[in-house]
Amino acid sequence: MTAADGPAAAAARLTGRRVTGERRAAGGLTEVELDDGRRVMVKRGGDARAVLAEAAGLRWLAEPGAVRVPVVHGWDDRWLVSDRVTEGGPGPAAASRFGRALAALHASGAPAFGAAPPDGPVEAYIGAAPMRNARGGDWPAWYAEHRVLPYLRRAVDGGILRAAEAAVVERVCARLPELSGPPEPPARLHGDLWNGNVLWGADGEAWLIDPAAHGGHRETDLAMLQLFGCPHLERVLAGYDEAAPLAGGWRRRVPLHQLFPLLVHTVLFGRGYAEQTLTAARAALAAG
């Protein structure tokens, strides 16, 4: 990659401003300073669909004004340019506010389970894994068909999970109508809400980045947030439940909702996550 097609050139082209400085940042990002004093982050996507999905997802999540999301300044087939978030540290009060804001984001809704953001692609991504945003009207059936089983098949085909082990997950899918709790309307999900995709700004308030946004069950975002930890997690959850009370038994359903991200990680990173997937599947069955 030459300077002519690098992150600085992309920032200049997509913002219409002259670049006055750049530096490499964590996660393969590049921080670029523009001639009007703004600092933006430039990210190279895996392909055109990945860039479009992220740009559309960020705009969709920002639309309700519930949670802070970096402004998207432009994108093309390879590059995404968005605001830079000046990071600080979280506090318990800010964590409670984040929980309430996340509840408001979810409540802004989606047209259907699996609905992509407006102008977003059906064939999208979660991290580096393909993710299909096919619509469904019934959450248990949709979750099994479009979130759990595709990654289970890939894990078995790749030799990461054995057929007998996959049968445990298949039993969860067969029992989803009884395990999934009361019906919920489609929520506007971040879709990849692990701790690394929550940034805490200089004022302590939370920002969301790197979404795999779609219409889904609100408990899925919360389960993913619990999977890899989050500062002041119980304050986040309490703030959420205060703003939008969760259905009874939601804590017992956390392993059920964690099956999706765990299977994605199994496909991407191997056997260690396969063991966690089986533990979650057994816990989901036991909870029912």
* Active-site residue list: 192
Query: What is the C-alpha to C-alpha distance for residues 33 and 164, in angstroms, rounded to an integer?
Result: 54
**Dihedrals phi, psi of 61, to nearest 5 degrees:** -70, -30
Query: What is the C-alpha to C-alpha distance for residues 175 and 221, in angstroms, rounded to an integer?
Result: 21
Tell me which residue has tokens 């009884």.
178
Beta-ladder partners of 207: 68, 199
Query: What is the C-alpha to C-alpha distance for residues 64 and 213, in angstroms, rounded to an integer?
Result: 14
Report CA dihedral (245, 250, 256, 261) to the nearest 10 degrees. 40
Amino acid in the structure at residue 56: A
Query: What is the C-alpha to C-alpha distance for residues 57 and 121, in angstroms, rounded to an integer?
Result: 10
By three-state DSSP, how is residue 121 classified?
Answer: coil
Tell me which residue has tokens 């919920």.
184
Beta-carbon contacts of residue 131 (< 8 Å; ≥ 6 apart): 124, 125, 191, 212, 214, 264
Query: What is the C-alpha to C-alpha distance for residues 74 and 42, in angstroms, rounded to an integer?
Result: 10
Q: At what angle do helices 163-174 and 271-287 cross, to 10 degrees?
A: 40
Instruction: Tell me which residue of 182, 252, 175, 169 sits closest to 217, measured CA to CA.
Output: 182
